[in-house]
C-alpha cells in the first residue's frame, strides 16, 4: 500500500512538472496582452547592469566571490585555482593541484600530501597522497 501511495505521488509530481514546463515554454515568446495578474515591475523587461572586475577590481572582495583576484574578467583565487595558479593563465598539469599559488603533486609533496596543507611530520613521508610512517 505504501508503494502505491509513493508511486501515485511521484506520478502526480511528474505531471505537475510537465504542465509547468509546457506553460513556461509556450509563454516565453508571447507578450502579455494586459498586466492583469502580473505586477508592473515584473512585466517590464529588466535591464541588467553588468559589472566587470576588469573595470571594478574591488568587486572580487565582496562576500561570496570565488576569489579576491581578477583574471580575464572573472574573480579567482590565485592560491587555489588550478587554472590560474599564482597568476592569470598559469595552469597546473595533471595530476598537480594549486596550493599556496604553486602547482604541487599531492601524491608526493611532503607539505601538501593528498590535499593542500596536509603536512607529514618528520617521521613520515608522502607516498601516493598518504603520510607513511616506517
Q: Are 126 and 107 in contact (CB under 8 A)?
A: yes
Does the predicted TM-score (pTM) go above 0.75? Answer: no
Condensed to tens digits (0 to 9), the pLDDT of residues 77-133 reads: 999 999 999 999 999 999 999 999 999 999 999 899 999 999 988 888 999 999 998
State how far the Cα of 34 lies from the Cα of 49, in Å rounded to an integer: 27
Domain range for residue 116? 104-134
Residue 124 CA neighbour count, 13 Å, CB half: 18
55 and 83 both lie in a single domain: yes
Q: Which secondary-structure segment (H or E) carries 132?
A: strand 130-133
Q: Specify if 23 maps to a domain.
A: no
State how far the Cα of 66 lies from the Cα of 83, in Å rounded to an integer: 13
pLDDT for the residue 30: 47
Q: Specify if 120 maps to a domain.
A: yes
Q: Which string of DSSP letters, residue by residue, matches 82-103?
A: TTSSSSTT-PPPTT-EEETTEE
What is the distance in angstroms between the CA of the first residue and the CA of the last residue of the chain?
Answer: 59
84 and 112 both lie in a single domain: no
State how far the Cα of 67 lies from the Cα of 87, in Å rounded to an integer: 13
Please report, for residues 1, 7, 29, the alpha-carbon distance to residue 99 in angstroms, rounded to integers and kept in the order given.
55, 48, 48
Count of domains for the chain: 2
Q: Specify if 125 maps to a domain.
A: yes
Please report, for residues 10, 19, 104, 112, 115, the alpha-carbon distance to residue 100 in angstroms, rounded to integers and kept in the order given.
48, 50, 9, 10, 12
Q: Specify if 1 maps to a domain.
A: no
Q: Specify if 72 maps to a domain.
A: yes
Condensed to tens digits (0 to 9), the pLDDT of residues 41-88 reads: 554 555 555 568 888 888 999 999 999 999 999 999 999 999 999 999
Amino acid at each position: 500500500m505504501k508503494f502505491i501511495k509513493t508511486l501515485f505521488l511521484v506520478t502526480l509530481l511528474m505531471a505537475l512538472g510537465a504542465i509547468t514546463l509546457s506553460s513556461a515554454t509556450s509563454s516565453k515568446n508571447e507578450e502579455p496582452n494586459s498586466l492583469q495578474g502580473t505586477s508592473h515591475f515584473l512585466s517590464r523587461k529588466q535591464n541588467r547592469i553588468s559589472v566587470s572586475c576588469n573595470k571594478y577590481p574591488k568587486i572580487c572582495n565582496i562576500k561570496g566571490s570565488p576569489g579576491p583576484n581578477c583574471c580575464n574578467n572573472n574573480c579567482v583565487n590565485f592560491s587555489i585555482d588550478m587554472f590560474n595558479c599564482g597568476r592569470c593563465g598559469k595552469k597546473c598539469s595533471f595530476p598537480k593541484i594549486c596550493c599556496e599559488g604553486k602547482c604541487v603533486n599531492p601524491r608526493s609533496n611532503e607539505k601538501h600530501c593528498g590535499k593542500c596543507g596536509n603536512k607529514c611530520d618528520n617521521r613520515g613521508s608522502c607516498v601516493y597522497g598518504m603520510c607513511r610512517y616506517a
